[in-house]
Amino acid sequence: MRNPPPQAVRLADYRPPAFLIDAVDLDISLDRSKTRVAARLAIRRNPAGQAGAPLALDGDGLVLRRVALDGAPLAPEAYEATPDSFLLRAPPEGPFTLEIETDVDPSANTQLSGLYRSGSAYCTQCEAEGFRRITYFLDRPDVLSVYTTRIEADKSEAPVLLGNGNPVGAGDLDGGRHFAIWRDPFPKPCYLFALVGGDLGHISESYRTSSGRDVELAIYVERGKEPFASYAMDSLVRSMRWDEQAFGREYDLDVFNIVAVSDFNMGAMENKGLNIFNDKYVLASPETATDSDYAGIESVIAHEYFHNWTGNRITCRDWFQLCLKEGLTVYRDQEFSADQRSRAVKRISDVRGLRAQQFPEDAGPLAHPVRPSLYHEINNFYTATVYEKGAEIVRMLKTLIGEADFRRGMDLYFARFDGTAATVEDFLACFAEASGRDLAQFSLWYEQAGTPQISVQSDYDAAAKTFTLALEQSTPPTPGQSDKKPFVIPLALGLIGENGDELTLSAAPGETGASGEECARGVVELSTPKRKIVFENVPSRPVASLLRGFSAPVRLAPPQSAEDLERLLAHDSDSFNRWQAAQSLALRSVFARIEAARGGEGADDKAFFDALKRLVEAGEGDPSLVAQALSLPSEIDIAREMGKDVDPDVIYSARSGLRRDLGRFLAPALAEAHARFAPQEGFSPDAASAGRRAMRNVALDLLAAGDPASGGPLAERQFAEATNMTDRICALATLSHLPGAAREDAFAAFYERYRKDHLVVDKWFALQSTIPEVETTARVARLMAHEDFSLANPNRVRAVVGSFANGNPTRFHALDGSGYALLERVVLELDPKNPQLAARLLSALRSWRSLEERRRKIAETTLRRILATPDLSADVSDIATRALG
């Protein structure tokens, strides 16, 4: 384990490496507790690096066995080695070869970083700084080397041996051992290194690239699980084709391997030619996977595959540039999924995710720019801000410069930076060049944290037939950034006339008009603190449909009137904004209910409910969009809108009241929809079928909220008769909110049916952890003692504890402090074993300052106690320190 205190790393301190490592030859002899790693490094001084510097390699918990320079053993005074570092005091001026042999213990590796065991297999995870746990190295992304890896193992234990690149040799050895040699011709940073050894099954397929090269694709899984990998394979093939068509990017090796493992800290990893996946994002069958699991697999498979160009062929100069590969690759996988499915539904779900994860991050003490300028622990920067807001920046760039220039910029980026480690500046320069536009102000999106707030005042002048929008932007202060400069914000908009028709935008001449181009594209740019825009020839008072398609990651305020929102919900040509109108109306209702509980005026939902009823009854169009409109803002959405003095109990009762009333009002229409969207013959995971299931299940859930006496039995029936996991788990979710024997029986039956499948058992864990009842905290403690639970497995921990802390606001924030105490216990127990996971769990407390005072105090005490614990990891102490900061 690395020793505290963690050092601050600053972007401003970046210096090119003093040495380069052109070639790495590894010979790795796998053994459960004593794996021998022999590395031969071809090193030379970097002409751009600091002259005369000693060679300082990174290590982390290594045991050095042997070291030689140009073939001769090194004298002890020539170097200094600790478990965490290796220093060669006076390296030769010319190129030299350093041979280093280390021992590592994969069985003792509970951090799941470096070389570790998952089940009976050996696997690796090197991003961000795991390679130094395998051998001493310049563990930084701007050192690119060509790797040859020889892997040796017991043939019976690990008949499958996989590495990066192409297979170039294999053979049997004495004593039941065997070896395989892999060579990766593409220079790469060490964080993309990987190997796998184990007794695994696989499925394979041949793929012909657009230029006619054949690639062998294979997905390796636990033996017996092979049939569950077919959707992942299908997604891979579609991703490869799509990247050729959408970005002109072809795959470059002879093989592409994916391995699914059960113990993994994140979703998956893009190691060159050898992607390693959390099995949650590979394995699926109609009986075990929900529609959202299928969508998750499709997008993660695509994401990792797309990294081959955005991340691997072009990598990052330093970890501050993480968004260069992550934001861009998320943008690419989002576009891919949008093309495979309903674009509008995909956008809605991405924006829901952004608001649920990134907005709170940006509004709290952990806020950081998409490209941070300082970190203590890089593992804590794999955040929604870097990933999801990073993707929004790329999307805005495309909106601003247009599709053609965007594609030209991407082509230029690929051509210019292939084989290098690049920066955000390099990336933006390509688009500036391709579009002829100065992107200096745009680059503030990478530098300034915080979510901009846009306020809008509108005014209709009936006599002059003009409509004026007064826009104003401001961005709240965030840690270390008190004053914000104005952003360039692309605001997609339209005007909806009295009859619901889309008005043609026509700008008034002069300074206050929008440009002709802005009107034609329906996108205005807000790049100053304020901008007033006058539209002319507006026959009657219109309603502005603003931020169409969520064209920028901002908040709009103040909320529109109910009448305006109802017009948008009924008529907006932009599907996203129709959904947004429903969400805004629901939020209005919740806030009115909260006011009513405090003695204020109650909610008048009649028009809103009527509008939803028309949507449900219309029966035409996309049922998945109707389902989205009926999916009310979550408790967490509501808390975020509230912003301060959040009381989760108050939110829960107001939201439950709305669900109950809506369920009652819509009951006949919902019952009809539930029947109309009953499962058809055969199962397909495609978007259309998933949309039908979404509609059916949202109907079931609202029906039960309106009338548990009839909705409960309906859910029981659906649970028993379900022919796919989506219908079964949704029925169980509905039942989970209805206390009683039927619910407990259903949970027991579910477990009996799926106890052998750990991914399904995770759903069972997660649902129970999110039951909004006082008893749940004790239930969670019981689940942690369940024979299927293990602190060593990140998926189990996330299913039980993560779901509780992030998905059960009333219990997690219980006034008696029991929820925080549970989190504290788990974080502290987990920290010495898996600090990355412990730190992630702890970030559930990131919004503690927005809570009402009593909870805020308990949360603060909890954080302080955690921070005062001796021997805390750098990961957890970084989160606790910043959260309190």
**Helix/strand/coil (H/E/C) assignment for every residue in 505-536:** CCECCCCCCCCHHHHHHCEEEECCCEEEEEEC
Q: Which is nearer to ligand 0A1, 104 or 651 (CB)?
A: 104
Closest listed residue to residue 243, CA positions, set 187, 161, 307, 297: 307
127 or 243: CB nearest ligand 0A1: 127
**Helix 575-597 crosses helix 623-630 at what angle (to 10 degrees)?**
20
Q: Are strands 502-503 and 489-496 parallel, antiparallel or unpaired?
A: antiparallel
In eight-state DSSP terms, residue 848 is G
Is the CB of 306 or the CB of 406 nearer to Zn ion?
A: 306
Closest separation in Å from C-beta 134 to ligand 0A1: 14
Q: Where are the alpha helices (DSSP H) in 78-125?
A: none
Query: Is there a contact between 318 and 305 (Cβ–Cβ < 8 Å)?
Result: no
Between 153 and 260, CB nearer to Zn ion: 260
How many angstroms separate the CA atoms of 835 and 855, rounded? 26
| Window 270 to 329, contacts with Zn ion (CB under 5 A) | 326, 329
Q: Which does 488 bind (CB under 5 to 8 A by kind): ligand 0A1, Zn ion, none?
A: none
CB atoms within 10 A of CB 27: 17
d(CA 730, CA 133): 43
In one-letter notation, the amino acid at residue 659 is: R
Least distance to ligand 0A1 from the beta carbon of 152, Å?
Answer: 26
Cβ nearer to ligand 0A1, comparing 588 with 796: 796
- Binds 267: which of ligand 0A1, Zn ion, none (CB < 5-8 Å by kind): ligand 0A1
- Cα-Cα-Cα-Cα torsion 65, 71, 76, 80, nearest 10 degrees, comes to -70
Torsion of CA 414, 420, 424, 425, to 10 degrees: -90
Instruction: Report d(CA 452, CA 486) in Å as an integer.
Output: 9
304 labelled catalytic:
yes
CA distance 218 to 852: 52
Q: What angle do CA 516, 517, 521 make, to 5 degrees?
A: 120
Of all residues in the shown chain, the one whose CB is closest to ligand 0A1 is: 266
Q: Can you read off the two tokens belonging to residue 199?
A: 């007794």
Interface with ligand 0A1 (CB under 6 A): 125, 127-128, 265-270, 303-304, 326, 379, 382, 836
The answer to whether 365 touches 885, Cβ cutoff 8 Å, is: yes
Residue whose pair of structure tokens reads 């503030």 in the numeric block: 444
Instruction: Name the residue nearer to ligand 0A1 (CB basis): 45 or 303.
Output: 303
**Closest separation between CB of residue 329 and Zn ion, Å?**
5
How does DSSP classify residue 266? S
- Minimum CB separation of residue 301 from Zn ion in Å reads 12
- 3-state secondary structure at position 884: helix
DSSP-assigned beta bridge partners for residue 118: 121
At closest approach, how far in Å is the CB of 406 from ligand 0A1?
22
Report how far residue 219's alpha carbon sits from residue 252's, in angstroms, rounded to the nearest whole number. Answer: 18
Residue 251 Cβ vs ligand 0A1, minimum distance, rounded to whole Å: 17
Q: 313: helix, coil or strand?
A: coil
Tell me the two tokens of residue 360: 């709170």
Q: Report, in Å, the least distance between residue 857 CB and Zn ion.
A: 38
Residue 455 near residue 557 (C-beta atoms within 8 A): yes
| H/E stretch holding 235 | helix 230-247
The CB-of-236 to Zn ion minimum distance in angstroms stands at 16
- Residue 612 is encoded by which pair of tokens? 């939803």
Total Cβ atoms within 10 A of residue 555 = 18
When the beta carbons of 836 and 873 are compared against ligand 0A1, the nearer one is: 836
Closer to ligand 0A1 by Cβ: residue 192 or 493: 192
How wide is the angle at C-alpha 399 spanned by C-alphas 396 and 405, nearest 5°?
115
Q: What is the contact mask toward Zn ion in residues 328 to 367, using x (rule: CB under 5 A)?
A: -x--------------------------------------
How many positions of this chain bind Zn ion (CB under 5 A)?
A: 2
Q: Which does 268 bind (CB under 5 to 8 A by kind): ligand 0A1, Zn ion, none?
A: ligand 0A1
| Binding partner of 377, given ligand 0A1, Zn ion, none, CB within 5-8 angstroms per partner class | none
850 interacts with, out of ligand 0A1, Zn ion, none, CB within 5 to 8 A per kind? none
Q: Which is nearer to Zn ion, 268 or 883 (CB)?
A: 268
**Nearer Cβ to ligand 0A1, position 195 or 534?**
195
Catalytic residue among 270, 304, 361, 388: 304
Q: How far apart are CA 390 and CA 357, in angstroms?
A: 13
Distance between CA 179 and CA 885 in Å, rounded? 52
**402 binding partner (options Zn ion, ligand 0A1, none; Cβ < 5 to 8 Å by kind):** none
Rounded to the nearest whole angstrom, what is the least distance from the CB of residue 313 to Zn ion in the complex? 14
382 binds, among ligand 0A1, Zn ion, none (CB under 5 to 8 A by kind): ligand 0A1
Select the binding partner of residue 724 from Zn ion, ligand 0A1, none (C-beta < 5 to 8 A, by kind). none
CB of 326 to ligand 0A1, least distance (A): 5
Angle at 16 between CA 41 and CA 304, to 5 degrees: 70
Rounded Cα gap, residues 744 and 735, in angstroms: 9
Q: SS3 for 774?
A: coil
From Zn ion, ligand 0A1, none, interface partner of 379 (C-beta below 5 to 8 A by class): ligand 0A1
What is the torsional sign of CA 86, 92, 94, 99? negative
Question: Smallest distance, Å, CB 250 to Zn ion?
Answer: 20
Taking the least distance from each CB to Zn ion, the nearer of 312 and 580 is 312
Residues carrying an active site annotation: 304
Contact residues toward Zn ion (CB under 5 A) are: 326, 329
